[in-house]
Amino acid sequence: MALSTPKYQQIARQLGDKLRLGMLTGGDKLPSVRMLSQELGVSINTVQQAYYCLEAEGLVEARPQSGYYVRTLIERMGQVPRRSAPQAMAHQISQSDQESVLLRLMRQQRLPGWLPFSLSVPAPSLLPVGKLMKAFQQAQRELPHGGIEYELMAGNAALRRQIARYALYWGGQLTDEEIITTEGCTAALTLCLKTVVRPGDTVAVESPIYFGILQTILSLGLKVLELPTDSLTGIDLDVLEGHLESGRIQACLLVPNFSNPLGSCMPNAHKQRLVQLMETHQIPLIEDDLYGDLHFAPDRPLPCKAFDRQGLVLWCGSVSKTLAPGYRVGWVAPGRYYDALLQVKRYQSGFSPGITQQAVANFLANDRYELHLRRLRQRLKSNCQRYQQTIRSYFPDGTRISEPQGGFTLWVEIDARVNTLHLADQLAPYKISIMPGSLFSLQPQYANCMRLSYGLPFDEHVAWGLQTIGQLIHQQLPLI
């Protein structure tokens, strides 16, 4: 499928290449929007969009009343978390002590009065609750007998049509007949795993990776192989290729767009190479695209599914992080595995609830969803920047913070002597919850890291919470 490249993306790519090659140095002022518009013979809006892209990549920064400037290499790279380096071995056993910590933290984040930085969902105040209620009421009127009957095994027809329509935003050529609905994205991932691998097989994942994915893989009797991962660009494809050539991997489960917790986003060239590797070795790629719609740049990043030619990519998504977490509405476009996955769904989970799926379909119609997403992205981008600024101000020198260009999680790496499991206990009297980094791996790593969600709107209470975390870390260091 040939994808045309908009003019502003061409300009952004040309300028970005110059920045990466050092033809422009840190601190240099870029041409004004008006000047570059005249020089290139394009509209002012086109240049602004190009600069927005470069800003989203962390290559330039906008200074009020002054213009755009090149960010130095140190500014762009020096303070992001280090590239992960997990052991090149598969694991099949979870750590029971971490599971107990996770259960405790999950209880805390739901308690009244707590500041749940550990909760990776957008705050209800960022979601269109009133409009969703109207969409739900409309669904009750539209479905036979108010929606109490079983749905089709493949899922609500209206929702599948809307998902296929929204795939056009990234150039997808899906039809509703290629999509199966599920009860959220985790259910989609689980069905995919049950379809393409068998107990004892090995699944490759990013490292660090969302603990829910780790537990899902382990619960099916599978092994986990963690891959070295960069906080900006995702997994190390050379390492993955070596494992594929050795025959150690039977499937990959990856989050190419704004992974949880790192927030990394694989460049398109990396995604294309990844799919080619899958095709060469005939290995299925389960793609968790849960966060793809939460991009800060003007355009949605392509999923790996956009490069799929042989049906090896099982593309999974949901509205749990963008619209209605409690509705549990997700889906999968399983490619060549459609019939097999539908059979697994029939035996394992059966019919999906029609009423919530119809409500989401109603909301997706008439571009209400895209309007909501634009507002949500703006709020999340602002949250991200303000959280980062506060962390830099109150956490110890040397703290490394991820630079996500979408999603709503920050990965924070602090002094190696600080254990964030202990820090989480110390924060409990203040009613502040964080997710310690060690929960995001089956290996003994990331003990000095934490995941913080910026799904909570930034306010004085949030600022106090981040300051408190920083103060407790400062207090620990002299005692270590």
The set of residues, in sequence order, having a beta carbon less than 8 Å from that of 38 and lying 6+ positions away, is none
pLDDT at 2: 38
pLDDT at 59: 77
Place of tokens 């070596």: 242
- Domain extents in the chain: 7-78, 95-125+375-479, 127-369
The set of residues, in sequence order, having a beta carbon less than 8 Å from that of 263 and lying 6+ positions away, is 231, 402, 403, 404, 405, 406, 407, 409, 410, 411
**Cα separation of 170 and 444, whole Å?**
38
Query: Please, are residues 290 and 316 in contact by the beta-carbon 8 Å criterion?
Result: yes
CB-facing half-sphere around the CA of 280: CA atoms within 13 A: 12
pLDDT at 452: 97
pLDDT at 96: 61
pLDDT at 162: 94
Return the amino acid letter for 450: M
pLDDT at 77: 42
Which tens digit of pLDDT belongs to each residue from 111-168?
A: 888 999 999 889 999 999 999 889 888 888 887 777 777 778 899 999 999 999 999 8
The CATH label, of 1.20.1250.20, 1.10.10.10, 1.10.10.1100, 1.10.132.20, for the domain at 7-78 is 1.10.10.10
To which CATH superfamily is domain 95-125+375-479 assigned? Answer: Aspartate Aminotransferase, domain 1 (3.90.1150.10)
Long-range (24+ apart) CB contacts under 8 A made by 332-335 are 332/179, 332/180, 332/182, 332/188, 332/191, 332/192, 333/167, 333/174, 333/178, 333/179, 333/180, 333/305, 334/180, 334/192, 334/195, 335/178, 335/308, 335/310, 335/311
Fold assignment, 127-369: Aspartate Aminotransferase; domain 2 (3.40.640)
Which tens digit of pLDDT belongs to each residue from 403-443?
A: 999 999 999 999 999 999 999 999 999 999 999 999 999 99
Residue 325's nearest CA partner among 146, 181, 138, 132 is 132
The pTM score is 0.83
Residue ranges of the chain with per-residue pLDDT less than 50: 1-3, 73-78
Return the amino acid letter for 71: R
**Cα separation of 111 and 66, whole Å?**
45
Query: Please, are residues 174 and 163 in contact by the beta-carbon 8 Å criterion?
Result: yes
pLDDT at 3: 46
Residue 281's nearest CA partner among 290, 293, 273 is 273
